[in-house]
Amino acid sequence: MEARAIQRGVRQSARKMRLVIDLIRGQAVPEADAILRFSKKRAARQIHKVLKSAVANAQQAAQRDNAPFDADGLRVTYAVVNEGQTLKRFTAAAMGRGTPILKRTSHVEIRVAGAAAPAAPAPAAKAEANEKAKPRAKAKKRAPAKKKKTTKKASK
């Protein structure tokens, strides 16, 4: 069972939010919940909301499919923060000038999946397995290129 939740337009820069999202990526949902609840960062509150929403979405999907549901068995499989739209504002500066202020926003996406969900092998791993199965052709050694002899004509 996999579910996701997205929150767009969070009024905090993506760079600051990535510090918190990196802490929960790959963690079990109860551990991620505890990390976010006791974090002092402002971003943790917004990310916690998205995590709770993803768990609720997983519960609804399980209920719709009439499948058993255990929130403690879920893991954060995908957690990313992308940059959103930047609000551009100006403030007064010396000598009648205006200096720009960039108010950055971000988009948070979290996916949770149950432990029973089979993990698909990475495409890179398949490519490596195919290369190992194929016998490699031996490269032919070439003889070094011969230098041409140049002769100088005597000038009269």
φ, ψ at 23 (rounded to 5°): -70, -30
3-class secondary structure, 35 = helix
Q: Tell me: the pLDDT tens digits for 77-103?
A: 999 999 999 999 999 999 999 999 999
Dist CA 52 CA 74 (whole Å): 12
Q: Between 125 and 65, where is the model more confident?
A: 65
Direct distance between the N- and C-terminal alpha carbons of the chain, in angstroms, rounded to an integer: 93
Q: How many CB atoms lie within 10 A of CB 53?
A: 18
| pLDDT, tens digit (0-9, with 9 covering 90-100), for 136-155 | 666 666 666 666 666 666 66
123 has pLDDT over 70: no
Residue 51 near residue 20 (C-beta atoms within 8 A): no
- Total-model pTM: 0.70
**Which residues, 6+ apart, have CB-to-CB distance to 118 below 8 Å?**
none
Residue carrying the six token digits 């943790």: 44
User: Average pLDDT of the chain?
Assistant: 86
Please, what sign has the CA dihedral across residues 72, 47, 58, 24? negative
